[in-house]
Amino acid sequence: MNLQTLVVKIGTSSLTQESTGNLAIATIAALVETLSALRHQGHRVILVSSGAVGVGCARLGLKERPRTIALKQAVAAVGQGRLMRVYDDLFTTLQQPIAQVLLTRSDLVQRSRYVNAYNTFQELLRLGVIPIVNENDTVATEELKFGDNDTLSAMVASLVEAEWLFLMTDVDRLYSSDPRSNPDAQPITLVQHLDELRQLQVETGGSGSNWGTGGMMTKIEAARIATGSGVRTVITSSQSPRNLEKILQGEAIGTHFAPQKSTSNARKRWLANAVIPSGKLYLDEGAVRAICQGGKSLLAAGILEVFGEFEASDAVQLCDRSGREIARGLVNYSSEELDRIRGRKSDEIPEILGYIVADTVIHRDNLVLSGSSSDAAELNKSDPRL
């Protein structure tokens, strides 16, 4: 059998009973059985589990999701321990070791910490452990949060180079609009490219339950990150965890998002998905063409406008005149320096600044194309006329 790396995400709306907030024991037990079975077949399995806030609320008798950050962080600290206790008891009955991995966005933004997280996951998987991942809600600050576990699971799938990301939720698949409020909503079974959803005018609505966050919007964003890293993504029901095995055997259950052509360069994947850009550079048509079609570095001459304040080595978004992001990269100059040298030739830089750091503003090794721009580059690469 083809042994693969699987990331499985389950949301609060599936882990808890909506009316009481108590744990949905039967769902969790079925999930534990399935993941243990997949693990025993030899697959490498990572579970991304929400539920810390929901379970913490139930434990403390709170009837709704906390509104203040401090209360949410305190409640998550209560719930995370309870949740892991339940997982450990259930997995231990099946002789399956687990580990708790709590991450904040900053753990992935910084390259050295990203590599460290990668190494830790590899060791855990090598040891046959199922890592159970959640956002470290108790310490995460607003600016450095994943915000939702759909995004976190996609970043983990990209980090560990998973083959599959399963987003398990309380609906069986994506529909043209929220099936809870629209009985005529049409099921969507396969998404080859995310642009199709725009054409179909899919409505992603809010969360269906009081406890989930983000509804389908965050799942589609997760699919964008994961498929962009070459990870096949499936939205499927948490009521039938056994379906994961059927999906792996080729059954068309849930909504499948086809993996896109992705870079095999781990550093570029980090740049595309994990870093948070601190600014934006608007480029002229020549620079956009050189980057998207020619795989060239960015020179100061092609920069029209500089937005935001950033230092050398920070990440920025590169946009065309209309503001559409075409790439991301790590700059060799600060925003203040770029404001002075934008639109100018590289050999003018020493005269303007009094020094030169590099001929390029972003070297092509530190540059990664975004979404459809990378598809265009792939197409152009295979066209010998270009």
Ligand X SMILES: N[C@@H](CCC(=O)OP(=O)(O)O)C(=O)O
Ligand Y SMILES: Nc1ncnc2c1ncn2[C@@H]1O[C@H](COP(=O)(O)OP(=O)(O)O)[C@@H](O)[C@H]1O
| Residue (75 or 303) nearer to ligand X, CB | 75
CB of 123 to ligand Y, least distance (A): 29
Q: Which entry of ligand X, ligand Y, none binds 137, CB below 5 to 8 A by partner kind? A: ligand X
Tell whether 50 is in a known binding site: yes
For 90-113, give the DSSP string: HHHHTT--EEEEEE-HHHHHSHHH
CB of 205 to ligand Y, least distance (A): 3
CB of 132 to ligand X, least distance (A): 11
| Residue (13 or 136) nearer to ligand Y, CB | 13
Tell whether 308 is in a known binding site: no
Of residues 7, 267, 274, 264, the one with CA closest to residue 125: 7
Tell whether 20 is in a known binding site: no
CB of 206 to ligand X, least distance (A): 11
Interface ranges with ligand X (CB under 6 A): 11-13, 50-54, 76, 134-135, 137, 148-149, 212-214
| Residue (169 or 373) nearer to ligand Y, CB | 169
Q: Which entry of ligand Y, ligand X, none binds 215, CB below 5 to 8 A by partner kind? A: ligand Y
Q: Which entry of ligand X, ligand Y, none binds 340, CB below 5 to 8 A by partner kind? A: none
- Alpha-carbon distance 237 to 14, whole Å? 9
* Residue 144 near residue 132, CB atoms below 8 Å: no
Local structure of residue 23 (DSSP, 8 states): B
Question: Which ranges constitute the DSSP H helices of the chain?
Answer: 12-15, 25-40, 52-60, 69-93, 105-109, 111-126, 149-159, 195-199, 215-228, 243-248, 266-273, 285-292, 335-341, 349-353, 371-381
* Residue 149 near residue 137, CB atoms below 8 Å: no
Partner residues linked to 300 by β-bridges: none
Q: Which entry of ligand Y, ligand X, none binds 297, CB below 5 to 8 A by partner kind? A: none
Q: Please tell me whether residue 120 adopts helix, strand or coil conformation.
A: helix
Interface ranges with ligand Y (CB under 6 A): 11-14, 169-171, 174-175, 177-180, 202-205, 207-209, 212-216
| Residue (225 or 326) nearer to ligand Y, CB | 225
Q: Please tell me whether residue 290 adopts helix, strand or coil conformation.
A: helix
- Alpha-carbon distance 146 to 3, whole Å? 29
- Alpha-carbon distance 235 to 386, whole Å? 38
CB of 178 to ligand X, least distance (A): 15
Distance set, CA 191 to CA 172, 180, 237, 332, 385 (Å): 15, 21, 17, 38, 31
Local structure of residue 255 (DSSP, 8 states): E
Tell whether 84 is in a known binding site: no
CB of 165 to ligand Y, least distance (A): 13
Tell whether 34 is in a known binding site: no
CB of 178 to ligand Y, least distance (A): 4
Tell whether 255 is in a known binding site: no
Tell whether 214 is in a known binding site: yes
| Residue (15 or 38) nearer to ligand X, CB | 15
| Residue (57 or 90) nearer to ligand X, CB | 57
| Residue (215 or 302) nearer to ligand Y, CB | 215
Tell whether 149 is in a known binding site: yes
- Show binding-site residues for ATP: 9, 169-170, 213-219
